[in-house]
Amino acid sequence: MASFSRSGETLLQRCLNAHPDIEVVHQIMARDIPEDLEVFDKFTQRKEQHIDIDAPLLKHRNLKPSSVLLLKNAVWVHGHPRRGFTLVRNPFSLIASSYREAPPPDQAKRQRAQQIRWARGIDPKMINMMDGSKTIHGFLALYSRKMLQDRRDGLPFVRYEDFVAEPEPWLRKIVAHLGLPWSDRVMKSHEDYAKGLKGHGGIKLWQPINQGSTNKYKAMSEAVKAHIYGLTHEVLHQYGYTWDGETLGLRAVDGML
C-alpha cells in the first residue's frame, strides 16, 4: 500500500487486516512487536513479490497458502516492481491533522529530524532542503515527491475521501484487486478492538469509519492554504482533486481503482 504519512493508512489497514486472508505487516497497533519490525525491514528491500509460507521470517505468523501480506510504503521510494495500490489523501487535510502554523521550537526540531529521515528514503537530494526551510514546506515537498512517484509507477489508487464517504464499495475494490474473495469482516473491523484502545498515530481502533476530519482544513488561514496549493498543485491535478481557493472537490480521473 503506497501512501504518505497522515493519509489514513492505519484506518484502512485495520479494515483490511480483518479479512481472513490479509496480513498487515505493521503499524496498526501503537507499538509493533520486534518480529513484525524485522519483517518490515526485510520487505522494504525485497525484490520478489512472493515469499514461501514456511520462511523463517514469518514463523510467528499463522499464515495460509492464500494469505496476502500488506506492506505500508509511506516514506520511501521502492526500488523494485511492486503489486498493490496507492492510498492518497489531499494535502490540506494532512497539514490540518499534523502541523501548526507556528510550532514551538522543540516540535519543529522533532519534525525536521523526522523529515530528514524520510528524505533519505524518498530522495536524498532533498535532505538539505529539510534543514533549511519551514517544516510545513519540507513536509509538502516530500509529499509531492512521493505521491507523484507513486502515480508515475502506475499503481491504481484510492482516495481517502472517497473511501470514508463510501467504505464498502472501495474496500470491495481493494480486496478484489488483491485477488481475494470478499469478507464481511472487513466492514466490522472496529469490533475486534476494545473500547479505548488506540493504535498507530493515536487512531481510536474501536470506532467505526467516519468522516469526522474531512472538513478540518477549512479552519486554516488563507495564507497556509495558498502555500499548500502552490506546493502541491500537480499532485492535486494528478489524483483528481479540484481547488477553487476555498473548497476541495473531487473528479474522476484515469488510474482510480
Tell which phi-psi region holds residue 11, choosing left (phi > 0), alpha (psi between -120 and 50) or beta.
alpha
User: Any residues with CB less than 8 A from the CB of 204 and at least 6 apart, and which?
Assistant: 197, 198
- CB-based contact 10:199 (threshold 8 Å): yes
130 vs 133, more confident: 130
C-alpha 137/C-alpha 232 separation (Å) is: 10
What is the structure's pLDDT at 212?
80
Tell which phi-psi region holds residue 255, choosing left (phi > 0), alpha (psi between -120 and 50) or beta.
left
Q: Is 119 helix (H, G, I), strand (E, B) or coil?
A: helix
Q: Which fold has domain 9-250?
A: Rossmann fold (3.40.50)
Q: Long-range contacts for 124-133 (Cβ within 8 Å, ≥24 apart)?
A: none
What is the structure's pLDDT at 199?
95
What is the structure's pLDDT at 207?
96
What is the structure's pLDDT at 22?
97
Q: H/E element holding 114? A: helix 105-122
DSSP-assigned states of every residue in 24-75: E-S-SBSS--HHHHHHHHHHTT---S---TT-GGGTTS---TT-EEE--B-S
pLDDT bin (cut points 50, 70, 90) of residue 31 is: very high
What is the structure's pLDDT at 101?
64
Give the CA-trace dihedral at 131, 135, 136, 137, to 10 degrees: -10
What average pLDDT does the segment 14-24 reach? Answer: 97
List, for residues 77-124, the tens digit of each pLDDT value: 988 888 899 999 999 999 998 876 667 888 888 889 999 999 999 999
Backbone angles phi, psi at 112, to 5 degrees: -65, -40
Where exactly are the structural domains of the chain? 9-250
Tell which phi-psi region holds residue 56, choosing left (phi > 0), alpha (psi between -120 and 50) or beta.
alpha
% pLDDT > 90, the chain: 82
The DSSP call for residue 201 is: G
What is the structure's pLDDT at 93?
95
